[in-house]
Amino acid sequence: MFEFVHFSVIQVICGALLFACVLSLMHHLWTESYLKRHCVVSFDDLKKRTGSESAAQNYIARMKTPVYYDREVLPWADKVECSFKELRVEICRSIERHSDTFDVAFDNLFLATGDFWTARNIIAWGLTSSQEYPKTLKLMREIGAINCFISRLAPDSKLKKHNGESDGYVRCHLPIVVPGGLPDVGLEVAEQKRSWVEGQVIGFNDLQSHGAFNYSEQERVVLIFDVMRPETAHCREYVCCRWLCIYTFLSMIDLLQRATGKTSPLPETYGVKEAVFDWLSVLPRTMFWLFFRYVCKRPPFWFSYLRGTGTYF
């Protein structure tokens, strides 16, 4: 009798896991299809589809999508610019008081940089990371920003060009302190360079290759935030949950690497190992997706293992 019950319990557990895996796979495929139908492209997907980072970058370069966005795509830009003075006071005061607490931005598996680029995060994929900037946080919530952080670029430095996560949102820069213009200080997106003008919002396609440079003798400070494009606004939760799940797995990888003392960058190609990992992780990714969608309100504790990613966590 005991063996029969024990065997039945195992059967029930296996059946439940199989059922959960099937539902997770359906959820995963439906989510991917949903984003694709609404023309939300991610660099991660392009890397899988093309097989490597370089192929994905070449694909993006050929895409007929905007590089910089016109003002009609930024209906909230006027509201942000009208609040520029009080945002600047709040941000500059924080830098004066707590300059040494800013984290090295993106010193991680995605984009290794030096301490010339530092950041303080305010909103991370829809989750509030800091209450230290109440006016900035309030405004960003009003316009629906999914990410928001303060970016500081040291004098005589250059940030190498890189691709962002997705084109589902508009990546925006609100210049707070700009020590000059082209050719010494500026932003470059897909080979197109622009100067920052203090108080004037610049919106661009984050999926496109972009970088920044500051060859002046003073620091450059920009408030960077992301707002969903008007036609993709209803995909907000899917985009945020997707990337929170990705960063959850990155935090686990980072923790394991710290524990073993072995570090390695993310592979530039997408091969069999990556595909197998994707399929095996469908169930936990779905569980995390549901957690971020319906339960989590602040960045969870495990993101603290990504200690160098001040930009996001």
- Please, what are the averages of pLDDT over each run of 10 residues along the chain (313 residues)? 61 88 91 89 90 92 90 94 97 92 68 76 89 95 96 93 91 97 96 96 95 96 96 92 86 78 75 86 92 87 64 49
Number of structural domains (the chain) is: 1
2 is a domain residue: no
- Three-state SS string over 161-179 comes to EECCCECCEEEEEEEEECC
18 is a domain residue: no
Model pTM above 0.85: yes
Distance from C-alpha of 289 to C-alpha of 307, rounded to nearest angstrom: 22
7 is a domain residue: no
187 is a domain residue: yes
45 is a domain residue: yes
CA neighbor of 294 nearest in space, from 226, 241, 239, 235: 241
CA distances from 288 to 70, 108, 240, 284 (A): 36, 22, 12, 6
CATH number of the domain enclosing 283: 2.60.120.330
- pLDDT for 311 equals 47
The DSSP string of 238-256 is: HHHHHHHHHHHHHHHHHHH
- pLDDT for 5 equals 54
- pLDDT for 110 equals 53
Contact 142, 148 (CB under 8 A): no
- pLDDT for 145 equals 97
- Chain centroid to CA 19: 32
Domain that holds residue 219: 24-313
| Token representation of residue 128 | 């509030």
- pLDDT for 108 equals 52
99 is a domain residue: yes
278 is a domain residue: yes
CA distances from 38 to 32, 229, 239, 269 (A): 10, 11, 12, 26
298 is a domain residue: yes
